[in-house]
Amino acid sequence: MASVSEPALRADGLRAEWTRTWAFACRNVIMARRNVFFVFELTFWPGVAMLSHGLLTQFLALTPEMTAFILSGTVALSAVQVCQLDVAYAVLFDIWSKSMKHQFLAPVGIRHLALGSWLVGVARGLIVFGLMAFIGTRAFGFDFLGGGAGSLAAFLAGCFLCALVIGLLVCTLVLLFGTRAETSAWAAVNLIVMLAGIYYPISVLPGWVAAISAAIPLTYFLDAFRAGYGFDSQFSAPLTKGFALALLYVALAHWALAAAITRARRTGLLLKLSE
């Protein structure tokens, strides 16, 4: 082995902040390129969901507005699922490869892993949306821009913010309960989307469930998007409420993950997840 001659390398500042964030983004991209299950996440399941739900709307002979109502739920579920998985992968990759301690041995914060992996999640979520929009428009005549470009952009931004919250919560659960909580990465989003009124208005839910729904930001984003297709909005200023709630939850989820990491350092779970 040769000898090393580089002077001391220890970077800090804004550039280093971005570099640390970029590290997680690059890793997610490499993993997405090399593992076949990412292709399924990105194309197969969203494609199947859009085709099956679109065919269902045709069988039931739904109006274009009702078709938009159903298919907007289908898009929300797939986009949120794919994006939140990327955030969860920031921790899950290390758990599956038993390399957790190396990540937390480095001077990184939650903001780096969350933002870096979320950026890839947003990119993948947009690809999923593009695919679903293509199928929806060509096969079922669903116009995703029916409510206007601004409405669609706000809807997608809301979906991706919700995905960030769910992804951070999955990371928190995994760092609290170890590998037992892995399944939450796939289960959590389905529960939340169900409560947010994915294929129905939340007015059909029992009163106490509807109260929970009102605390979920995705409920407001779906409501605002569907309003663009002529449905009565169930909330006043849904986008403002949705974004305010989502940002509050991002802050809370960040705090929860920080607390879970501290607990994992205290209990030794951080080391156990590396064995």
45/93 with CB nearer other proteins: 93
Looking at beta carbons only, is 96 or 255 nearer to other proteins?
96
CA angle, 153 as apex, 118 and 57 as ends, to 5°?
A: 100
Q: Which is nearer to other proteins, 207 or 266 (CB)?
A: 266
Q: Which is nearer to other proteins, 176 or 195 (CB)?
A: 176
Minimum Å gap between C-beta 154 and other proteins is: 33
**Closest approach of Cβ 262 to other proteins, in Å?**
8
Task: Report, in Å, the least distance between residue 127 CB and other proteins.
Answer: 20
Question: What is the token pair recorded at 136?
Answer: 């929806």
Separation between Cα atoms, residue 223 and residue 220, nearest integer Å = 5
> Least CB distance from residue 78 to other proteins, whole Å?
24
Q: How far is the CB of 271 from other proteins (least distance, A)?
A: 6
Look up residue 229 and give its two tokens: 């297709």
Task: State how far the Cα of 152 lies from the Cα of 228, in Å rounded to an integer.
Answer: 9
d(CA 267, CA 24): 26
Tokens of 159: 């979906």
Round the CA-based radius of gyration of the chain to a whole number and report it.
Answer: 20
CB closer to other proteins out of 59 and 266: 266
What phi, psi does 59 have (nearest 5°)?
A: -60, -40
Positions touching other proteins (CB under 8 A) are 1-12, 15-17, 19-20, 22-23, 26-27, 30-31, 34-35, 93-94, 96-99, 101-108, 112, 262, 265-268, 270-271, 274-275
